[in-house]
Structure 1
Amino acid sequence: MKKLQNALYITKDGAYLHKQRETLLIEKKEDGEKQKLMQIPIHSIGSIFCFGNIMVSPQLLGFCGENGTHLAFFDMHGRFLANIVGKQTGNILLRRQQFNVKEQHADEIAKHIVAAKIRSSRMLLLRFRRNHNATLPLEKAIDRLKQIIEQLKGVSDYDTILGLEGEAASHYFSAFADMFKGNDKRQLFNKRTRRPPKDPVNSVISLLYSVLGQEISGALQGVGLDPQVGFLHKERPGRNSLALDILEEFRAYIVDSIALKLFNNKTLTTNDFKTDCLGGVTIKEEARKLIFQAYQAKKQEEIMHPFLKEKVQIGLLPHIQAMLLARHLRGDLAHYPPFVIKK
């Protein structure tokens, strides 16, 4: 099983990253002088995520490309900007089969992914209901999501699958707003908004969706798949459609659950965010650190994988699902088993 390597999140505006022998050195100029912020062994790092105005040396860029270290850049909202891609790995025959399946059997894989997404969303709602008073939107969403899961079983048309997914998302996020304690006048979360996010919860989940999506993209490349050729999401220039497909399996289980915990435990409050003149909400630097600490802690948790029947760290799930998808495309598995926890 692949070892879970460390991920490094750089949020210090103006930081400079460079390679010094076998270490990664992070510095920043303060009052005209370089200040060392951190120095760590470079081979222990699997991913580097840079937010805002971060500078990286050409030597470090080359090292990341040659060694498969994932290096990605985001703006301060968490919107993905660019990443470093090294040599393409895997067998061309696997990617060719991926393209063939895309043309002939994409709807089947898309349906399995959507069903898994809705089951995970419903499971999060059920867990919340066990410990809190249920609201009408929560009860309505739980019941309707169950009905949609049953409807999907008899559906094969792509547009119908997409329509059911959209309806499920609408019910889910309506109930999601009621799951945050003290969400008076829905200041923490009202509805799903993006580019830019319009409230604190949206800013957190958008940030983590972006980071997790880039980790999934790296995992897909690691098994030899093309992250831009998806089955559920349509191709667009520069869009990693397959990574977005796999991300659907983890939105509720990983990201949304982290957001709930951070706000309901009062780790984050409205004071940790600022609103710009256009209504976009950004995360303050110290709060961003707390978010990534919670994300890293989540990735270290161990669960029983529902298909492999083995204990794995949550942070390895993107690599495992990429491997299972590759096995399906090669013909080793009759169906792609998307990730969904059943309890």
Structure 2
Amino acid sequence: MGNGTRFIMSQGDITRKDNSICFRKGNKNTYMPVEATKELYLLNEVNLNTKFLDFAAKAGIVIHFFNYYGYYSGTFYPKEYLISGNLTIKQSEAFIKNRIHIAKAFVKGIGINIYEVVYHYYKHDKKETKEFLDWIKKDFMDVLDKTNDIKQILFIEGQVWMKFYDNFKYFLPEDFLMNKRVKRPPDNPMNAMISFGNSILYARTISQIYHTHLNQSISFLHEPSEGRFSLSLDLSEVFKPAIVYKTIFELVNNKKIQVSKHFERKLNYCLLNEAGKKVFIPALEERFNSVFEHAKLKRKVSYEAAIKYDGYKLIKYIFEGKDFAPFSLKEMM
């Protein structure tokens, strides 16, 4: 993968070999130059030791661990090198004084990006989506503007996702529809892809925030108590429609991913198999690395860089009071 991102999908051992990372599977060794590696995604059972972790830490490599079901388990990253006590204090103050404003900005961003994704299909003769699009423009935005209660904001966010899922039937083939969003474990091919894609996006967001001065544990939409990296949950939500769902829809509608070939089914769950991951991961990476002309910055920006840019926008809001509006597909020229 480009941009220093490496995925390991098989069981094996990972060690240091001179100035390279060595992944051993059976009798075969694969070498990755350390200077060209920024992130490792371990998607299977991989053996490593503290000696390797020390090597990775000194090289500035972030390592994300996933369990058998494709869920994010945790992250090892080097000692934080961008620590700002002043920003942490200001971030805490923003949570106390301006949490509602920031949380509403995130949910509004989710709605705008879902609208843009579905509008693409409306333009291509999927006129059944009009009712949902009209709801986002009017009812969703009106109710969100009027509320000042965090539970109500979260309820509104849940509504827009549920209505989004309900509109899949208008532009996806029948074998990729789902009755409802089921996460742990996913119960059908669509839920399997959403869960896996969201996990990778969340891990990528952790890596991007690591390169800012923001405190990962102080979030605004999600409760800070939900997890160590709850701010990454906030920032990643806005990017799900643009990165995860657009990738899924293109793979499904272009028949690049198929129910019969790319999924493993057991009694109560469904997962991408290794062949499925070999299709899904490169498509998702291509989306992360693809660039667009940013209307405000007046230059080309990748989706991955846009995540970190949202972190900087949040810092600007916290320090300077500049209005915070997260990533929007409307920013693309």
Measured in 2, the distance between the counterparts of 1:177 and 1:18 equals: 47
SS at match of 1:236: helix
Q: Are residue 142 (structure 1) and residue 139 (structure 2) matched?
A: no
The alpha-carbon deviation at position 214 of structure 1 amounts to: 1.2
Equivalent position to 2:266, from 269, 272, 276 = 276
1:109-128 equivalences in 2 (<5 Å)? 109-128=102-121
Q: TM-score when scaled to structure 2?
A: 0.92
Q: Are residue 196 (structure 1) and residue 188 (structure 2) matched?
A: no
State the Cα deviation string for residues 260-294 of structure 1 (Å, max 9, x = none): 011111111112112222x2111110110111110
The answer as to whether partners of 2:126 and 2:171 remain within 8 angstroms in 1 is no
State the Cα deviation string for residues 102-131 of structure 1 (Å, max 9, x = none): 111111011011001001001111001112
Which structure 1 residue ranges, 4+ long, deviate > 6 Å from structure 2? none
The alpha-carbon deviation at position 180 of structure 1 amounts to: 1.1
Q: Are residue 69 (structure 1) and residue 57 (structure 2) matched?
A: no
Q: What are the ranges of 5 or more consecutive residues in structure 2 without an aligned counterpart?
A: none
User: Which region of structure 1 is more displaced relative to structure 2, 58-67 or 313-322?
Assistant: 58-67
SS at match of 2:73: strand
1:41-190 equivalences in 2 (<5 Å)? 41-88=33-80, 89-135=82-128, 138-147=129-138, 148-181=140-173, 183-184=174-175, 187-190=176-179
User: Which region of structure 1 is more displaced relative to structure 2, 85-94 or 116-125?
Assistant: 85-94
Match of 1:321 in 2: 310
Equivalent position to 1:26, from 16, 23, 27 = 23
The answer as to whether partners of 2:168 and 2:177 remain within 8 angstroms in 1 is no
Equivalent residue letter for 1:21: D
From the two aligned structures, give the one with the greater helix fraction.
2
SS at match of 1:106: helix
Q: What are the ranges of 5 or more consecutive residues in structure 1 without an aligned counterpart?
A: none
Measured in 2, the distance between the counterparts of 1:15 and 1:306 equals: 45
Measured in 1, the distance between the counterparts of 2:226 and 2:237 equals: 20
Equivalent position to 1:245, from 234, 247, 271 = 234
Q: Are residue 285 (structure 1) and residue 267 (structure 2) matched?
A: no
Equivalent position to 2:324, from 336, 340, 343 = 336
Equivalent position to 2:12, from 7, 12, 15 = 15
Match of 2:194 in 1: 205
Distance change >3 Å, CA 306–CA 247, structure 1 → 2: farther
The alpha-carbon deviation at position 237 of structure 1 amounts to: 5.2
Measured in 1, the distance between the counterparts of 2:153 and 2:232 equals: 19
Equivalent residue letter for 2:265: T
The alpha-carbon deviation at position 77 of structure 1 amounts to: 1.9
State the Cα deviation string for residues 215-274 of structure 1 (Å, max 9, x = none): 111222221212121100012353422111101110101100000011111111112112
User: Which region of structure 1 is more displaced relative to structure 2, 246-255 or 80-89?
Assistant: 80-89
The alpha-carbon deviation at position 188 of structure 1 amounts to: 4.1
Equivalent residue letter for 1:157: D
The answer as to whether partners of 2:126 and 2:170 remain within 8 angstroms in 1 is no
Equivalent residue letter for 1:28: K
Equivalent residue letter for 2:114: S
Measured in 2, the distance between the counterparts of 1:298 and 1:311 equals: 14
SS at match of 2:55: helix
Measured in 1, the distance between the counterparts of 2:212 and 2:42 equals: 24
Measured in 2, the distance between the counterparts of 1:56 and 1:318 equals: 30
Equivalent residue letter for 1:327: K
Q: TM-score when scaled to structure 1?
A: 0.90
Distance change >3 Å, CA 285–CA 16, structure 1 → 2: same
Measured in 2, the distance between the counterparts of 1:58 and 1:220 equals: 25
Match of 1:265 in 2: 254
The alpha-carbon deviation at position 150 of structure 1 amounts to: 3.5
State the Cα deviation string for residues 137-173 of structure 1 (Å, max 9, x = none): x222111111212432333332332222122122111
Equivalent residue letter for 2:155: G
State the Cα deviation string for residues 20-42 of structure 1 (Å, max 9, x = none): 1221211112xxxx211x21211
Distance change >3 Å, CA 210–CA 256, structure 1 → 2: same
The alpha-carbon deviation at position 306 of structure 1 amounts to: 4.1
